[in-house]
Chain A
C-alpha cells in the first residue's frame, strides 16, 4: 500500500466482486490487462549513445579502439560515448574478463504512465469506434457530482442512450442512486486507490458495454489531485467545483484545472448565502488554463443546466457523426476495391 496517499493494489472491485478480469487475458474488446506490455523498441543508435554490440574487437581498449577507428578501418560501431555513459566492453573498470561486471546504458525515454496511456488509447479507440461520447467528471468530494449526474440523466434520458460508471473507494451508493433513475450503471470500488485508471475503465467497459452512439458519464473518485494525471481514454475531463468551496481552488489544485476541458461551477443557487466571488474564481481557473470554458449551474435548482445539457448533446452528436464518417469511408473503400476486383476478374 502506498505510504503517501494510501493507494492499494489488488483491492479494486467491480460491483462488490474482485476484478477478476485484471488477471485474465482473453477479452472481447481487445483491452490490455495486467501490467505486461512491452514498449521497449528497437531503435537506431544515435552517436553518443551507449549500447552493446557484438563485434570482432571485444578486447580492444579505448585507445586502441579510437586508433582503430582513426586509421580508417571499417568499424560501424565506433561511436563516441558521453563521459558519464558506460559502454559494453568498456565497462566501469574496463572489465572484459568473464564474470566481471559489464554495465551498459539502456535508453528508455518512456513516459512513466506509458502503461496507463496504452490502456487509455485502447479505450479511446473502442469508444470512438462505437460512437460513445465519454466524459470523465472529476472534483473534490461533495461538489455535487452525483446529484448533477442524476439531474443530467433525468433531463436527457428520453433523447439519449446513457450509461454511467461510478468510481468510489467503497460502497455502491452512487451506482444505486443512478440505477434508481432507470439508467445502466456500474460501480468500481478502488479499495484504497485514489483515482480511476485506464485499465479499470477498460474492465468496466467490458462489463457495462455501453450502446453505440451513447453518452458515457464517468464519475471519478472524489479527489482533486490524483485523477488529473490519469488519462482514461475519455473525450473530455470535466472538473466540477461548487460555490461552497474556495474560489481559489484552481490555484491550490492547478493540475486538475489544467487537465480539464470544461469547468462546471455548481450549486450557484447557494451564491446569495455564501461568500464566493465568481469572477475571481473564473480568473483563477483561467490563470491555470487560459481559455478554459466555464459553465455556471445548479443541479438542485436547474439554473444554467441547459448550457451543460447542450454541451453534452453536441458531444454525443459529434461522436456519432465521427463514427458515421468512419463507416462511410470504409464502405467507400470497399466499393472502390470491389470495382478494382471486378476489373481484374
Chain B
C-alpha cells in the first residue's frame, strides 16, 4: 500500500532523534508492526532500503517485530486472538469482533553510536 510514506515516516523519526541526541550512525532500527495494521512488511523493508540510503541509518539493520492482533468479541464479551480485521471469533464463530490491538506501527527504539 503506502509503504514508501511509512518509510519516510521512519526516516523523519530518525532525523528528528538525531537532532535531539547527536549520534553519527544508526546500527539497528527496531520496529513494531501490528498484524492488523495493513502493512506489507516485505514492501516496507524494501522501501526503507531506499528511504534510508543517504541517511545516518544507511547501514542500519531493520528488526521488525509483529504485534499480534486482538479483538473484543461482543457475543462472548472477552478478548480474543484475531489475525485479520474480518476474522470471526475463534470461540463462538460470531462476526461481532472489534479489533483492539495489532493496529499499531511504531518505531520502538534505535541503537545508535
Contact = CB atoms under 8 A, between A and B. Distances in A.
Given A105-B111, A115-B9, A290-B95, A195 B17 contact: no
Contacts of A235: none
A5 B105 contact: no
A40 B20 contact: yes
B21 A108 contact: no
A40 B38 contact: no
A102 B113 contact: yes
B6 to A, nearest CB: 5
B5 to A, nearest CB: 6
Contacts of B107: 108-110, 112
B112 A106 contact: yes
B81 interface: no
Interface in B12-59: 12-13, 15-17, 19-21, 23, 27, 31, 37-38, 40, 43, 46-47, 50
A36 B11 CA distance: 11
A258 B47 CA distance: 25
B12 A35 contact: yes
A243 B76 CA distance: 33
B91 interface: no
Contacts, number: 147
A106 B15 CA distance: 13
B4 interface: yes
Contacts of A39: 13, 16
Interface in A33-79: 35-40
Interface residues of B, number: 47
B4 A114 contact: no
A104 B111 contact: yes
Contact of B17 (A5, A9, A40): A40
Nearest to B3: A4
B110 interface: yes
B22 to A, nearest CB: 10
Given A110-B106, A112-B13, A113-B105, A2 B4 contact: yes
Given A40-B21, A112-B6, A229-B38, A4 B46 contact: yes
B95 A286 contact: yes
B82 to A, nearest CB: 11
B79 interface: no
Given A104-B111, A286-B95, A3 B46 contact: yes
A109 B113 contact: no
Interface of A: 1-5, 7, 9, 35-40, 86, 91, 101-116, 194-195, 197, 225-226, 228-230, 250-251, 254-255, 257-258, 283-284, 286-290
Going nearest first, the 9 A-B pairs with the smallest beta carbon separation are A2-B4, A254-B85, A226-B2, A40-B20, A255-B38, A112-B9, A287-B95, A103-B113, A225-B1
22 contacts: A1-B4, A2-B3, A2-B47, A4-B1, A5-B4, A37-B16, A38-B16, A104-B23, A104-B112, A105-B109, A105-B110, A108-B13, A108-B110, A112-B10, A112-B13, A113-B5, A115-B12, A250-B86, A254-B85, A255-B38, A288-B85, A290-B74
Interface of B: 1-6, 8-10, 12-13, 15-17, 19-21, 23, 27, 31, 37-38, 40, 43, 46-47, 50, 74, 84-86, 88, 95-99, 104-113
